[in-house]
A and B are shown apart, each in its own frame.
Chain A
């Protein structure tokens, strides 16, 4: 059974249909890169997977849990589906370690000492062992985003959703974040990334999805798709990115 399966999902904001029947399957260990123009529905799709957005029809199953279901299911789902945002969204009143420790302690009822050990482990993984007790405002954008990744990892997610996580970063800070994601991919983490980093999508992704006008327009192995895009829309898109 696929880890995430999306079947014919439709969503509209009022009269505007942003997802027009999207289907997609993600297996364990897949690194799915979702690309497309802004407004193509790629972020909305990602946000539907952990229930941040609702959808009108179709079905999404993540880790065996129906996303459109009742509230209790959503909590169970989110324990296993992590998300990292474009704007980091760290909790500014908490230190890096406290940001990471919050969900394990509150949701999983892990003892403080144990949570602190987990925080040390995941912050080390993203290369921020020295910054455990720093507040977000004392960190650079790249460091903040790495703390946000660590915060998700602390819940031991089965799949990590990354919503344009380098788009708000200064160019020189992009690579430190991508390196962390690449390492996660190598370790077998299942990833779904909405991204504008085409080179990263090609080199690290195992599967590429091109979204256009609320639909999966073209998909396949990243290297093959980039080398020979079939549809004129993707040809144009790849061309415009350069």
Chain B
């Protein structure tokens, strides 16, 4: 029977960590892009657009991420389209991330004083121009810390992709456990690796928050 040393376990986990990082990064970036578009719709004061984004956000915030993964993985297959775990995980995480980022960013946009909107309106800027030149540059400063903080949730969220068969850190842990029967060791290592990914980010978010508060 094949024997796994500690180093075999660790190196296999680290390789899988690469996939966790890649999935997190891609989901975060594409979620951010979708979130930005939703942010424009959410704050546009155009009723149908606001209503759509509100329901979108309610749906993705109000249902478990695991259900969303299932819906994409099994749901799209119903239409006869083959969905790889990779694609389903990417789609579900992107939409889930975008919903949360939109809400975070909306709070930042709404914290900009009304006078900024009024002054830029009076100068004949359109809504898009106001956002682009006046509101977002100011909101961005406030948004950095909570956005970095939320990236931790995305990394942890990728663990659920293991359930639809995407081989990332958690899935690799499960496979290794099945082969070695040393669950405590394997999952301790998995947890430790997640912590090493997440802790610097939350530390960074806390730092940024402190610095921005001091600047006020």
- A positions within 8 Å CB-CB of B: 50-52, 75-76, 78-79, 81-83, 85, 87, 89-93, 102-103, 106-107, 148, 151-152, 155
- Residues 111-138 (chain B) with a chain A CB within 8 angstroms: 113, 115-116, 118-126, 129, 133-134, 137-138
| Contact flags B125-156 to A (C-beta < 8 A → 1, else 0) | 11001000110011000000000000000000
- B122: contacting residue among A50, A91, A93, CB under 8 A: A50
A93-B138 contact, Cβ under 8 Å, with A52-B118, A85-B118, A102-B133: yes
A52-B122 contact, Cβ under 8 Å, with A87-B115, A106-B129, A107-B129: yes
The residue of chain B having its C-beta at the shortest distance from the C-beta of A87 within the complex is B115
**In the bound complex, how far is the Cα of B150 from the Cα of A219, in angstroms?**
59
- B115: contacting residue among A75, A76, A89, A107, CB under 8 A: A89
**How many CB-defined contacts (below 8 Å) exist between A and B?**
56
11 A-B pairs besides A89-B118, A103-B125, A151-B123 with CB distance below 8 A are A51-B121, A78-B122, A78-B123, A85-B115, A85-B119, A91-B116, A91-B134, A92-B138, A93-B138, A102-B134, A155-B123
- B positions within 8 Å CB-CB of A: 113, 115-116, 118-126, 129, 133-134, 137-138
Q: A52: which B residues are within 8 A, CB to CB?
A: 118, 121-122
Q: A151: which B residues are within 8 A, CB to CB?
A: 123
**In the bound complex, how far is the Cα of B146 from the Cα of A93, in angstroms?**
20
**In the bound complex, how far is the Cα of B125 from the Cα of A67, in angstroms?**
16
List, sorted by A's number, 5 A–B pairs whose CB atoms are closer than 8 Å. Answer: A83-B122, A90-B119, A91-B116, A102-B133, A107-B129
Closest 3 CB pairs of A and B: A89-B119, A78-B124, A89-B115
The residue of chain B having its C-beta at the shortest distance from the C-beta of A93 within the complex is B137
Min C-beta distance of B216 to chain A, whole Å: 11
Q: B118: which A residues are within 8 A, CB to CB?
A: 52, 83, 85, 89
Q: B129: which A residues are within 8 A, CB to CB?
A: 106-107
**In the bound complex, how far is the Cα of B122 from the Cα of A151, in angstroms?**
11
Q: B126: which A residues are within 8 A, CB to CB?
A: 75
Q: A50: which B residues are within 8 A, CB to CB?
A: 122
The residue of chain A having its C-beta at the shortest distance from the C-beta of B122 within the complex is A83
A78 touches B119 (CB 8 A): no
A79 touches B124 (CB 8 A): yes
Q: B115: which A residues are within 8 A, CB to CB?
A: 85, 87, 89
Min C-beta distance of B48 to chain A, whole Å: 16
**In the bound complex, how far is the Cα of B130 from the Cα of A107, in angstroms?**
11
**In the bound complex, how far is the Cα of B138 from the Cα of A108, in angstroms?**
23
Q: B133: which A residues are within 8 A, CB to CB?
A: 102, 106
Q: A90: which B residues are within 8 A, CB to CB?
A: 119
**In the bound complex, how far is the Cα of B70 from the Cα of A202, in angstroms?**
74
Q: A87: which B residues are within 8 A, CB to CB?
A: 115
B123 touches A102 (CB 8 A): yes
Q: B120: which A residues are within 8 A, CB to CB?
A: 91
A89 touches B116 (CB 8 A): yes
Min C-beta distance of B58 to chain A, whole Å: 28
Min C-beta distance of A28 to chain B, whole Å: 20
